[in-house]
């Protein structure tokens, strides 16, 4: 509603009568209150909304991106602010235009991007990227334990960054959603890769994975009975391969057989039959996941030495150190190496071969998390209220919270629960 200026003559007349009555009008009343007021709208500043930065991946031959354009659109509609480094989605076949249309801000300046509250990455941050961070920032990414260095830990400490490993986050059921989703893709990819590597063109034995009538199929030994193993087993059975499955968790072995509806040859890691099967195998797949630190190394170098020349080892556990003594990190550019005449495939981000599918899978997990953060008081509140989400933290504002890393690098660590209580 507008307040109209009074007629000067009326004001003057009123002033005269007031002067006669010896009543004066303060100057500020006549100059300000009688002036028309500009209309103002109440602007709501919602709490819990997050500024998310997504840099372009340059290391580890990474082709994925943490959020697809459709995921960005959903988060922007919730009130979150998404900032994307130019070209970040190109390897997943998403253009800057796709993201801009979804509501993301496209930045060419990486330093400006790293001023965001949360950084999302699908590869561990480089030392240069850590240096661009700021105190209190949250970096969510996978962590490759074999490539982890003491300097990496100290840089995070110096910047007082909160770092979270995707593969350690849990959902309400207590399972690891990122691990499960990526494991499904990895299981399919591992068997397809094994079939390729067995061929003569790949320095393999020239064996068809499934065999044909009159020719026996390849023997595949799978170590572990988790999601990777289950999916890989489905694919291998589809090829017609002969399967041997080992795990120390009998319940997992029973569940896997029940899910597949197929009677399989199974055994435990401690059984002598496992080593005999590995020595005679055409393909050995390592698919053992650790909930806290390094994957157990259960196949020694002496066993690898006794394997068939041209046999194939695929170590899906390499991102947690690997479960073969002869494993070492390889890349998509140079994915294989030969050790003791055995072909090794030890690429940590094996799912990056299918970046569009993998990116969509990661987005499906992250969007509900940020939706929950937006409905509460933000990421920090979510850390305190969600124990599964909190399980992913290995560095909290410069304090190491992962016991395995503490023991490996001889760096003091603190319990995350105590840290959160002292930072109330």
What residues are annotated to the active site? 144
Among 122, 71, 180, 166, smallest CA distance to 355 is for 122
| Phi, psi values for residue 250, rounded to 5° | -65, -35
What would the two tokens of residue 386 be? 């969600």
């Amino acid at each position: 509603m507008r307040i109209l200026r009074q007629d000067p003559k009326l004001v003057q007349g009123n002033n005269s009568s007031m002067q006669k009555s010896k009543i004066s009008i303060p100057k500020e009343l006549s100059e300000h209150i009688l002036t028309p007021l500009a209309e103002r709208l109440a602007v709501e500043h919602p709490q819990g909304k997050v500024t998310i930065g997504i840099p372009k991946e340059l290391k580890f031959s990474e082709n994925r991106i943490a959020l697809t354009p459709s995921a960005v659109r959903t988060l922007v509609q919730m009130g979150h602010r998404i900032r994307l480094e130019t070209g970040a989605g190109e390897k997943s076949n998403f253009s800057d235009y796709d993201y801009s249309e979804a509501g993301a801000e496209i930045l060419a300046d990486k330093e400006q991007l790293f001023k965001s509250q949360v950084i999302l990455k699908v590869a561990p941050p480089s030392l240069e990227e850590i240096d661009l961070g700021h105190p209190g920032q949250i970096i969510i990414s996978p962590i490759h334990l074999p490539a982890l260095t003491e300097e990496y830990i100290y840089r995070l400490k110096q910047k007082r960054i909160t770092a979270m490993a995707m593969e350690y986050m849990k959902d309400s059921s207590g399972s690891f959603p990122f691990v499960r989703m990526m494991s499904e893709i990895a299981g399919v990819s591992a068997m397809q890769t094994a079939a390729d590597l067995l061929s003569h063109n790949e320095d393999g034995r020239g064996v068809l994975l499934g065999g044909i009538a009159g020719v026996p199929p390849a023997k595949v030994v799978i170590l572990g009975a988790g999601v990777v193993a289950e999916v890989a087993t489905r694919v291998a059975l589809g090829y017609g391969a002969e399967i041997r499955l080992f795990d120390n968790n009998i319940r997992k072995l029973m569940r896997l057989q029940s899910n597949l509806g197929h009677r399989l040859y199974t055994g435990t890691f401690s059984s002598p039959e496992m080593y005999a099967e590995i020595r005679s195998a055409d393909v050995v797949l390592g698919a053992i996941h650790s909930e806290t630190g390094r994957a157990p190394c259960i196949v020694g170098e002496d066993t690898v030495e006794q394997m068939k020349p041209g046999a194939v080892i695929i170590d899906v556990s390499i991102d947690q150190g690997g479960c073969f003594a002869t494993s070492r990190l390889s890349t998509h550019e140079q994915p294989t190496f030969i050790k003791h005449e055995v072909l090794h495939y030890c690429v940590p981000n094996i799912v990056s071969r299918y970046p569009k599918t993998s990116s969509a899978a990661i987005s499906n997990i992250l969007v509900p998390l940020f939706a929950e953060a937006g409905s509460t008081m933000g990421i920090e509140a979510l850390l305190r209220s969600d124990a599964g989400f909190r399980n992913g933290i290995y560095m909290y504002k410069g304090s190491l919270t992962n016991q395995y890393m503490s023991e490996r690098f001889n760096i003091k660590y603190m319990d995350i629960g105590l840290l959160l209580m002292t930072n109330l």
